[in-house]
Amino acid sequence: MTTNPVFCAIDAPTRDEAKRLIDVVAGAVGGIKLGLEFFMAEGPAGIREVRPTGVPLFLDIKLHDIPNTVAGAIRSVVPLSPAYITLHASGGRAMMQAAAEAAASEADKLGVPRPKLLGVTVLTSLDVADLEAVGQGMEVAGQVERLARLAEASGLDGVVCSPREIARLRRVLKPATVLMVPGIRPAGADAGDQKRVMTPQEAMEAGATHLVIGRPITGAADPAAAARAIAADLGLALDAGAAAPTSPVP
Ligand code: C5P
């Protein structure tokens, strides 16, 4: 079966709420994304409790510290067997290299799959004036490209990017480099606070490898049906009423 590229953003504050959503959508998405809010409140134990066996996990914890500390943080979460972990590319080459080495060696030691590491470039909440204020006085797209190239050259597996950045990054990064893309809205869905959106098909055609989709699934009256409709739009065949997860994303 073609792999399902959709990671459902579970932006829920409590274990109960997260578990309820995950159990409903797990069979119709490629994986789930849990971020800082959940991780800070519930920690690794919370993740173990809410994640069904076999469902790929995107651990969006946006690490940024000195290389030794980030490497240690990566080692601390490898036992959770996340498929993807995020770190800030602006942490620099040595930090990213240390993280990549830690992910590989710890996974090897524990006999679990190596988590793929994704660089966060410029947060979409920042504009050119914000970059200027922190001493990175260049246009946003240029800074995104610079950091994405650095992430790739430092041994990361890919980057998180907005729909507007897919085409430019696809031109300059290796074909195998992961582009994990939030800001996705199925045709007709409410954009909410996302300013520039693409449909799932548009983003995949532009060169995304994975899609992060939250509220269009989790806020739907029937989240499982919403996730299945997105999969169908992407041309993926799901078992009707499937309770088991679709094939994990490689
Ligand atoms: O609900 P929605 O589909 O907008 O959720 C998108 C998810 O991706 C959220 O968890 C959000 O924090 C995350 N995200 C984003 N834009 C970025 C980076 C992450 O929307 N630039």
88 annotated among ligand-binding-site residues: no
212 CB near ligand 1 (under 6 Å) = yes
200 CB near ligand 1 (under 6 Å) = no
Give the tokens for residue 145: 């490209």
Mean pLDDT of the chain: 93
68 annotated among ligand-binding-site residues: yes
Q: Would you please indicate which residues are annotated as catalytic (active-site) residues?
A: 60, 62, 65
Residue 125 predicted with pLDDT over 90: no
Give the tokens for residue 208: 């995304």
Give, rounded to a whole angstrom, the gap between the first and last alpha carbons of the chain.
12
Residue 249 predicted with pLDDT over 50: no
- Residue-wise pLDDT for 75-114, tens only, equals 999 999 999 999 999 999 999 999 999 999 999 999 999 9
Q: For residue 189, what pLDDT is reported?
A: 87
Residue 246 predicted with pLDDT over 70: no
| 2-16 average pLDDT score | 93
pLDDT confidence tier of residue 243, bands split at 50, 70 and 90: very low
Q: Which atom of ligand 1 is nearest to the CA of 193?
A: 4
69 annotated among ligand-binding-site residues: yes
Q: For residue 194, what pLDDT is reported?
A: 82
Residue 170 predicted with pLDDT over 70: yes
List C-alpha distances in Å: 58 to 5, 8, 41, 95: 12, 9, 17, 20
Q: Which atom of ligand 1 is nearest to the CA of 219?
A: 1
Which residues have C-beta within 8 Å of that of residue 109, sequence separation ≥ 6? none
The span from the CA of 87 to the CA of 102, in Å, is 13
Q: For residue 42, what pLDDT is reported?
A: 95
Q: For residue 244, what pLDDT is reported?
A: 42
Domain ranges of the chain: 6-225
Q: How far is the CA of 164 from the centre of ligand 1 (A)?
A: 14
199 CB near ligand 1 (under 6 Å) = no
Residue 191 predicted with pLDDT over 60: yes
The span from the CA of 184 to the CA of 29, in Å, is 14
Q: Which of 110-114, 121-125, 202-206, 220-224 has the lowest mean pLDDT?
A: 121-125
CATH code for the part of the protein at 6-225: 3.20.20.70
- Residue-wise pLDDT for 53-62, tens only, equals 999 999 999 9
